[in-house]
Amino acid sequence: MGRKSALLLVFLMALTSPTAAAQDDPPAVTVDGEMILFSPPPLLVDGVMLAPVRKLLESIGATVEWDHEAREVVGKKLNRSIRVLPDAEVLIVEGDAEVSLQNQVKILDGTLYSSLRALSAGFGAGVTWDEERRSANVETSLVYVEDEDFNYMMERIIDHREQLQDEYGFVPLSGWSVDGQAEIVFRKYGEHEAQISPEELNEIQGSIFRVAGTAFPLKLHQFVIPEEADIEGVITEIDERTNRILIENPDLTVGDPNHPEAVWISLTDDAVVNYNGDTTRLEVGLRVRAWFAGLMLTSYPGQTGSVKLEVL
């Protein structure tokens, strides 16, 4: 091989080496630490990261629709929505606020691109740039839970109640928000008396974030039944149509002396029923103890679920 040929080969190898090729690779994107694969890939244009709109919005947990009449992309997450119009100068957030795009919306080969930072900001997510790895890192976690967001997330959790029970083994009971932090009470499905481990608690938290569509400040409270029953009394009525039983305690009155403590209970799917040696079914007249499954409707008689029932 001649000297010129050898030099040309070395030059070509240098151009195709990993170092040279890396400079031509598209920038990477992670969402909450997870690498997102785009096709087509994101672009760096004049120092601005542009990403395919649909893929990015879906990756940060938003639903995406195309409004044919308005010719715009609509992204929705929690209680928020954004609108992206081709060639627009601003990103419309929730119908009121605007995020400047500085003409950073483009259609390339049929794919709508827009500023990764602006799209992320529309849903309250932050973006950092790792120069060494040439990677944009999107952090979607909420740092403060607004009341509207909390209400929306609780609706999502309630809508996915069966999924949380069947796939993750717990049942959400109630929730509230205080000073930007959400608090949720849950019970372990089929295990009413044992405290769960920290590892299980982390798994439950993760499943709630997945259902809600985002991470957020959250404190979990496990509901565990106490040793003492919530009510002890006599079964006075059985409603087979609604699968409920009425328990009355004549020894304790509620307000009116003529109103004994009384509660309609419905047994949960995972309720435990302990019969005595002479009884194999529930009947009017049996004396029982019941442990409630959570909240009670403040009617008279009260109404609640029960996870444990003992026939005395």
Crossing angle for the helix pair 198-212 and 161-168, nearest 10 degrees?
Answer: 140
Tell me the three state secondary structure of residue 25.
Answer: coil
How is the beta sheet containing 34-35 ordered, strand by strand?
34-35, 28-31, 135-139, 126-130
* Domains in the chain: ranges and CATH: 24-139 (3.30.457.10), 147-222 (3.30.300), 231-311 (2.40.50.320)
In whole angstroms, what is the distance from residue 270 CA to residue 166 CA? 12
| The pLDDT value given to residue 172 | 92
Q: Which of 196, 133, 142 is nearest to 169 (CA)?
A: 196
- When mean pLDDT is compared across 56-60, 95-99, 146-150, 292-296, the lowest value belongs to 95-99
- Within 10 angstroms of residue 245's Cβ, the number of other Cβ atoms is 24
| The pLDDT value given to residue 6 | 42
| The pLDDT value given to residue 143 | 62
Q: Residue 145: pLDDT above 80?
A: no
Q: What is the mean pLDDT of residues 263-280?
A: 87
More confident residue, 283 or 252: 283
pLDDT confidence band for 171 (50 / 70 / 90): very high
More confident residue, 28 or 123: 28
More confident residue, 153 or 238: 238
pLDDT in tens, 190-212: 988 888 888 899 899 989 988 88
